[in-house]
Amino acid sequence: MKKILLSATFLMLGAVAFGQDLPENPEPGKCYVRCKTPEVWKNEDVTIEVAPAYKKIVTYPAQYKTVTERVLVKEAGQKLVIVPAVWETKTVTYTAKEDANKLSVIKATFNPDSKVIETKAASANWEMSEKAPDCESSDPNDCRYWCYKPVPAQFVTVPLTVLDRDASTTSTPVPGYEKTYTKRVMVTPPTTRTVEIPAVYGNITKTVLVKDAWKEEVTVPAKYKTVTKEVLVNKGGLTTWKEVECELVNNTPLPITWNLGSATLTSGAKRIIDSRLLPILKDGVAVAIESHTDSRGTKESNQDLSERRAQAVTNYLISKGVNPSQLTGNGFGERRLTNRCADGVSCTEAEHRANRRTTFRVINQK
């Protein structure tokens, strides 16, 4: 029976391998990844017109001269002069505050009391007696008495507060008082008189046109710029199988030391990427980059920080000439801790450092 099961298992594995078009004649203990051949590009210089030739018109303003003239600024006339009124001060007495009453409140008073309330009515329960010692029956229910025993009622005493004397008021008279103020009273009303005002003259300056505005046409030549464009030489996309180290198929740590709260790659981190990751990517495989944080800080800020760190590694690899289609970057924040150091758990700095990690693994490039 075991041989039949093993044969069926090998047949299933062979069917899966055939369905996935796996490489022929693989070596035992080796790992393979399916990749696409990269596209080959070359640079060409192209000169383009970035600004056309055009006609520019230069204008010149009109020319003027200044002329001074004497003119009438204000005609002669008359002015009415007001002779002010004569006033005197009088004192007036008035009631500033009228008589009234003041009410005082006598608060209500209370006495303690209590009331007994029946919380459970009297009842009765059936109870069975012990078996008589001289009973000869083997039935355990024989030779027993059933008694209907009363259960007394239950009461509770509730403390109360009763009104002894209700609130009332007493009235106390509050006398008013008088004040005085002063007011001005006109003794003599105001009058007017006429005063003659002479004319006023002044000098004005006016601008006289000497020469009107004119224009001049100037031809501005076109501008050109040389740009470099990428031209496809060989189209990629052919599927091939590449042999990779088996441990690279799983998440492999990049021993990058991130500064606290920072997503900026240090020079040491860049050297690690150059030595550990660039040689693998030059073979044309695709790599998934994953970044994680410890549990300190909010989940939202840790998620954002891990995504920025994964993106920083991805951007650096692209700057080193890696095709973006070979890279996938994801941040997982504090969702995939490697130890017990979740929120609220006291841990050492070394334990927290184990969760602050960036890893990579080889994946199929599609």
Stronger pLDDT, 75 or 22, i.e. the higher one: 75
Q: How large is the average pLDDT for residues 119-148?
A: 77
Please indicate whether residue 142 or residue 32 has the higher confidence score (pLDDT). Answer: 142
Q: What is the pLDDT of residue 14?
A: 41
pLDDT > 70? residue 105: yes
- Read off the tokens for 272: 């690690």
Q: What is the pLDDT of residue 255?
A: 84
Q: Is the separation of the CB atoms in 251 and 359 below 8 Å?
A: yes
Question: Beta strands 286-291 and 327-331: pairing type?
Answer: parallel
Q: How much of the chain, in percent, has pLDDT values that exceed 90?
A: 15
Instruction: Return d(Cα 356, Cα 306) in angstroms, integer.
Output: 9
pLDDT, residue 241, reads: 55
State the pLDDT at residue 33: 56
Residue 5 confidence (pLDDT) = 34
Does pLDDT of 318 surpass 70?
yes
DSSP 250: S
Please compute the mean of the pLDDT values over residues 206-219 and round it to a whole number: 83
Per-residue model confidence as pLDDT tens digits over 164-210? 888 888 888 988 788 888 888 888 888 888 888 888 888 888 888 88
Which position has the higher pLDDT, 239 or 23? Answer: 23
Task: Tell me the pLDDT tens digit for each residue of 67-80.
Answer: 888 888 788 888 88
Indicate the pLDDT class of residue 21, thresholds 50, 70 and 90.
low
Q: What pLDDT score was predicted for residue 319?
A: 93
**Residue whose structure tokens are 């003119």:** 71
Lowest mean pLDDT among 3-17, 110-124, 236-250: 3-17
> DSSP labels for 24-62?
SSPPTT-EEEEEEPPPEEEEEEEEEEEE--EEEEEEE--
User: 3-class DSSP state for residue 316?
Assistant: helix
Average pLDDT over residues 18-41: 57
Average pLDDT, stretch 100-112? 87
Predicted TM-score of the model (pTM)? 0.38
pLDDT at 156: 86
Lowest mean pLDDT among 24-38, 144-158, 218-232: 24-38
Q: Kindly report the CA angle at 324 between 238 and 256, in degrees rounded to 5?
A: 125
| Average pLDDT over all residues of the chain | 79
Crossing angle of the two packed helices 267-276 and 299-319, in degrees rounded to 10: 60
- Per-residue pLDDT tens digits for 239-284: 555 555 444 445 677 888 788 888 999 999 999 999 988 888 887 7
